[in-house]
Chains A and B, each alone.
Chain A
């Protein structure tokens, strides 16, 4: 019996910090936010329960357009991160020699040493009117005057892809590393071309990693604040910026909470749809076999 008591104790010790973290930092604030979002302001310090905030969101095209735009651009960033991350991950996991594998992986991690903010400023140094790229193009003579490369959608997308691509590479490397080379050889031996082997063996095998990477990258992008603001400026129209404005600038916590709830619901819906379309489910992605 003592043995099972010890087991219980270690389980409790293990679960307590985790549960506290989940309850105090995730569930409670979400309940608070959810509660706030149903508070309609009818006068100074006077609130009634109702869906007015949500109605307001729908009636203002600028709000839901920003949300849709954020979602579309996040999907684009996710696709680009996958297209860039997959070859890199494949190289690290399958082509590189064992010894250089760790070094390459570390190289991917190095950008994380530097904070988001500093990295975004790095892009600004490169891309602003008086920046490195503009200057270089002028000195070569390709352009006549200084050119502003910041504050447009392409820059925002590039910056976001750069920030999140690592989170695509890590799960891909770990799934691809588990793939036995003999599967590829069997694929060729049975008559497959490079393309069929890639399409029918590599991609299906890496699917859990692809899905995990895409979910992480999409959620990170849709919830990101710093990169779109710094690189997109006033034109970025990122939904998190709207939430920030509601909370801080307009001091309208009710509306801000509504936006927060909507962002969570909307991104969750996109992830769910993505899982349905690719025929995956969350359980098989997180815990393989």
Chain B
């Protein structure tokens, strides 16, 4: 059963196509994210689902029923706005009661439901407080409660964590996921922050220039991207540009633009020899060695000079400048039991498994 389905949705503003032939299905009770850079059309897509924009063509179905043409106030999708849009002239209780009042429920029920939903989000008894008296994270939860009290089929969230500071954002990611489990409602989450999408979602759609590039669970997007854009946008990657010179099975031999050759795994079908390609290697797949050993057959080895160390706890990086001028980020463990330690200026050999390098048609190319 799908709570939300989009069928070849297209939205044009004049000659500009904001959303282009987008289709997707969101299973009931799942957390679905749309991830894309700003201006990719994700907000337009969400506004079409909420009913603030009508699609130029295509269909939107909520619980199997088409909602195209239904005004926003008649759709059972509720939305948490980017800046939350809590009503400043109402107190918290009135904010949450607003939707119930619009529905014409009686006062006793409204009071009970408001109390219940505040209990569920862990803020009991704040009915009489003003919006300005709450912290950022609390406002966030109130905005969600205001929607959830109406028991929507789908909850839309439009980058709601954007306005929070980093620490709170990390915390709210986990909290949002928990709230979604607790309410057991379908969440459609829009973000440009890939870590938000990866941490919380059951499925992520990566969007670019109005199109979905790939839909899949976070692990799949990370480990098996299907296009160069997804490989570059989701997670950190080192990118090498070059031309495909030979193929053998699923292995590609690439002549790099910066000089030299590299062997990598083919990430997509249908690449012909001579095509412009990009090879992506994740920093954590790369290990750094102080001495040059004989590279195994299924490994790629490159040499360079340590440029700098970027310490960031578990995510620490070693920035290495190759002899041809390319910069590579490699993961770097710094604990007591860690291997070799490096200082800027040290010679270093970087190695990774051939299978960890993924080769795609270059963006804008094929």
Contacts and interface: CB of A to CB of B under 8 A. Distances in A.
Given A200-B98, A205-B89, A207-B89, A189 B72 contact: yes
A183 interface: yes
A192 B102 contact: yes
Nearest to A179: B88
A185 B103 contact: no
A190 interface: yes
Interface residues of A, number: 19
B73 A193 contact: yes
A201 interface: yes
Contact of B103 (A187, A188, A191): A191
B150 interface: yes
Interface in A18-72: none
A183 B90 CA distance: 12
A145 interface: no
A190 B102 contact: yes
Interface in B93-116: 98-99, 101-103
A189 B50 contact: yes
A190 to B, nearest CB: 4
Interface string A186-228: 1111111100100011001101000000000000000000000
Nearest to A196: B102
Contact of B89 (A190, A191, A204): A204
A190 B81 contact: no
A273 B101 CA distance: 30
A256 B103 CA distance: 58
A186 B103 contact: no
A180 B72 CA distance: 18
A100 interface: no
Contacts of A249: none
Contacts, number: 66
Contacts of B90: 200, 204
A182 interface: yes
Contacts of B82: 182
Chain B interface residue number, banded:
20 to 34
Contact of A190 (B52, B71, B78, B83): B78
Nearest to B82: A182
Contact of B99 (A180, A185, A190, A201): A190
A278 to B, nearest CB: 13
A190 B88 contact: no
Nearest to A200: B98
Contacts of A186: 79, 81, 85, 87
Nearest to A192: B102
Contacts of A205: 87-89
Given A180-B83, A182-B82, A188 B89 contact: no
Given A185-B81, A205-B89, A193 B72 contact: no
Interface string B51-78: 1100000000000000000011100011
Interface string A167-189: 00000000000001011011111
A57 to B, nearest CB: 42
B67 to A, nearest CB: 13
Q: Pick from A182, A188, A191, A200 the residue with the most CB of B within 10 Å.
A: A191
Nearest to A190: B99
Contacts of A192: 73, 98-99, 102
B87 to A, nearest CB: 6
Given A185-B52, A185-B72, A196-B102, A191 B150 contact: yes
A182 B85 contact: yes
Given A182-B82, A205-B89, 19 more contacts: A183-B87, A185-B50, A185-B52, A185-B72, A185-B81, A185-B85, A186-B85, A188-B71, A189-B73, A189-B78, A190-B73, A190-B150, A191-B73, A192-B73, A196-B101, A201-B87, A204-B90, A205-B88, A207-B89
10 contacts: A185-B85, A188-B52, A189-B72, A189-B73, A189-B78, A190-B147, A191-B102, A200-B90, A205-B88, A205-B89
